[in-house]
Amino acid sequence: MLRKELSKPGYVPQPIALGINTDAYQPIERKFKLTRQLIEVMLETRHPFSLITKNALVERDIDLLAPLAAENLVSVHFSVTSLDPHLSAKLEPRASAPHARLRAMKRLHEAGIPVGVMVAPVIPWINDSELEAVLEAAHDAGASTAGYVLLRLPLEVAPLFRDWLDTHHPERAAHVMSTIQQLRGGKDYDSQFGTRMRGQGVYADLLNNRFKLARKRLGFNAQNSHWPKLDCSRFLKPLPPKQDSPQGSLF
């Protein structure tokens, strides 16, 4: 499907983002290698893309990512929620442990692949105290860019999160939800563009100031976007698939 899309006559390359809606390295990827096949097409066509993941399985594809990075065609970002393996396991039971993500980040960095960190989601009174520690650990592992995303609770996610709070942190549940609603104009979620990732109000401002101070102290890229600019000028149309001749072969 990707090859077909890139082959369209009027196609103009723009960086593709993998892993935005769902992680590109789900456990099933180890067997079926669907993401690896996509990256193979990206390498063949010299198509720029960025990747965000919570899983160390991305190490497997260093052999493809490194040559892409050499031509400024890829950046890889790791979402790290906490350095506490117990909290991480409760929040993200199918994701790699924090130390495994940082190890993968370091190995990609050592292979010349630009890496960044997203502290996401930041949950008030659950993992917000770790913001600076996560940024420091990622910086030590080679991350050059950083960002964060405040917890978002659209539609059916809100009741699931409330259940999670009641199960794992019942003593804090009311305080957590009260703070979230203060950040979202009295609601569990506000989809307004420009604030849905960071929230509004005193808590949001304090968190953003902490992030900016840590980013400056650690020397992370201070550009407006945490995504580095990739090269779209190297794109090559995919080769057409080989087709068997209707006459068959003489030999």
User: Is position 198 within any domain?
Assistant: no
Higher pLDDT, residue 240 or 7: 7
- What's 65's domain CATH number? 3.80.30.30
Mean pLDDT for the stretch of residues 221-245 = 74
Condensed to tens digits (0 to 9), the pLDDT of residues 67-82 reads: 999 999 999 999 999 9
The tally of domains found in the chain comes to 1
Q: How far is the CA of 34 from the CAs of 39, 65, 79, 242, in angstroms?
A: 9, 15, 20, 21
Contact 154, 191 (CB under 8 A): yes
Q: What is the pLDDT of residue 246?
A: 54
Tell me, yes or no, whether 158 lies in a domain.
no
Asked, for residue 123, whether it belongs to a domain, the answer is: yes
In a domain, 114, yes or no: yes
Determine the Cα–Cα distance for residues 4 and 23; give it in Å rounded to an integer: 23
Domain that holds residue 111: 2-152+203-218
User: Is 241 a domain residue?
Assistant: no
Among 74, 100, 99, smallest CA distance to 18 is for: 74
Residue 122 token pair: 């930041």
| Model confidence, pTM | 0.91
- The answer to whether residue 167 sits within a structural domain is no
